[in-house]
Amino acid sequence: MPESNGNQTDIFLQFDVRKAYQGFTLNCAGQFDHGITAVFGPSGSGKTTLLDCVSGMLSPDEGDIEVNGSVVYSSSSKVNVPPEKRRFGYVFQQGALFPHMSVRDNVEYGYKLTPRAEREFEPADLADLLAISHLLDRGIANLSGGERQRVALARALASSPRLLLMDEPLASLDAAHRASILTHLKSISEHLAVPMVFVSHSLSEVLALAPRMFALDWGKMVAYGDTPEVMSHPLVARIADYGTLENILSAQVLGQDNEDGTSRLAIGDAVLVGPPTDSIPGESVSASIRSGDIILSLGVPPLTSARNAVPAVVREVRETEGRVLVYLDMGEMIVAEVTPGSARQLDLKRGRDVHLVIKTNSILTFRLDTG
């Protein structure tokens, strides 16, 4: 097992595995804590292979896997606990629901197989948490992509798993459903405290969900640690697409200006002017703002066409590959991308007060998928 770089009592999952195929070998080790850890990397980097080894769906050629102090795989000790005995939930990219069963039967499938003494979550409570109570009597064929993934999450959680594994669960969803599922995953983490391993090739998804990030490339770990630190690692910069980086944020609609054609959104401690929305005042939505669309200003900027000038505090400044990522606190963390020259000119550093200048049409809003 790898040596710990943190408090050993915080470690939930430990692994050191090798799995060889023709032309590719997964050979990596890591230690994940009780929260949400993202496994990030490009296609073919070994993300799914690693997840399948942890789940027991795939046996490594050699190595060790330990979960919460319990060995589930060890080549040296000849231990290989079968998947059904590991008590892990697994959510696939396409949901992999049972098509001949109703939503209710899908959710209750794992619950009924779980011994009574080990049942921690009731299907009805999970249905409420994931906003699928009204779908329980429907067939699987009548669900949208977002609804399918919420049902898949409920089914995985109904078995009261020790660990929730998710393999690109948002990859096939549109922006609105993706934002909604991210909101539900945050709710699961907050209310159920189930450790999660979230596989993704999207920096935006990782930024929105996971405080810790494990980056893979060609079967090997290239970086692991706090998400801001790993996102700016030089080796990660070579495999990451920063041009698509967006902030996916929780927001609440405060009201609308019908004459002006805008809406008012509460995000963290800030109130932003956004585009018109069909959502009613008080409704929770998701908001997306590209990191490259945020302009930083020292002090209140002069009158501009941009409707938003929001005060914020710089929390971290990370430079990599000719770009600077600035992590800012406006009551909710948001990331802006600036050039190294701009960062030097503004003397951006931890604790500096700035204003975020954001155009109205740079904000996209999405209703949460609860229908």
What per-residue confidence (pLDDT) applies to 7? Answer: 46
Reply yes or no on whether the pLDDT at 5 is more than 70: no
Tokens encoding 313: 């505090």
Q: Quick check: 124 and 143 in contact, CB under 8 A?
A: no
- Per-residue pLDDT reduced to its tens digit, 95-109: 678 889 999 999 999
What per-residue confidence (pLDDT) applies to 328? Answer: 97
Distance from C-alpha of 80 to C-alpha of 74, rounded to nearest angstrom: 7
What per-residue confidence (pLDDT) applies to 255? Answer: 93
What proportion of the chain, given as a percentage, has pLDDT over 90? 70
What per-residue confidence (pLDDT) applies to 184? Answer: 87
Q: Quick check: 334 and 247 in contact, CB under 8 A?
A: yes
Under CATH, what is the fold of the domain 8-240? Rossmann fold (3.40.50)
Reply yes or no on whether the pLDDT at 280 is more than 60: yes
What per-residue confidence (pLDDT) applies to 95? Answer: 63
Reply yes or no on whether the pLDDT at 9 is more than 80: no
- Per-residue pLDDT reduced to its tens digit, 166-207: 999 988 888 888 888 898 898 888 888 899 999 999 999 999
- What does pLDDT average to over the chain? 91
- Per-residue pLDDT reduced to its tens digit, 104-142: 999 999 889 888 988 899 999 999 988 899 999 999 988
What proportion of the chain, given as a percentage, has pLDDT over 70? 96
What per-residue confidence (pLDDT) applies to 60? Answer: 97
Reply yes or no on whether the pLDDT at 54 is more than 60: yes
Domain residue extents for the chain: 8-240, 246-367
Class of domain 246-367: mainly beta
When pLDDT is averaged across residues 51-71 and rounded to a whole number, the result is 96
Distances, alpha carbon 265 to alpha carbons 270, 271, 330, in Å: 8, 5, 13
Closest CA to 291 of 217, 232, 344, 347: 232
- Per-residue pLDDT reduced to its tens digit, 303-333: 788 899 999 999 999 998 788 999 999 999 9
CA Rg value for the chain: 22
- Per-residue pLDDT reduced to its tens digit, 343-357: 999 999 999 999 999
When pLDDT is averaged across residues 253-261 and rounded to a whole number, the result is 85
What per-residue confidence (pLDDT) applies to 77? Answer: 96
Reply yes or no on whether the pLDDT at 301 is more than 80: yes
Distances, alpha carbon 184 to alpha carbons 32, 34, 188, 285, 348, in Å: 22, 18, 6, 12, 34
Distance from C-alpha of 68 to C-alpha of 11, rounded to nearest angstrom: 7
